[in-house]
Amino acid sequence: MRALFLDRDGVINADLGYVHRSADFEFLPGVFAACRAAATFGYRVVVATNQSGIGRGLFDEAAFAQLTAWMLDRFRAEGVEIAGVYFDPTHPTQA
**Which residues are designated catalytic?**
7, 9
Instruction: Characterise 57 by phi-psi region: left (phi > 0), alpha (psi -120 to 50), beta (else).
Output: left
CA distance 8 to 51: 9
CA distance 61 to 27: 21
| 87 and 49 Cβ atoms separated by less than 8 Å | yes
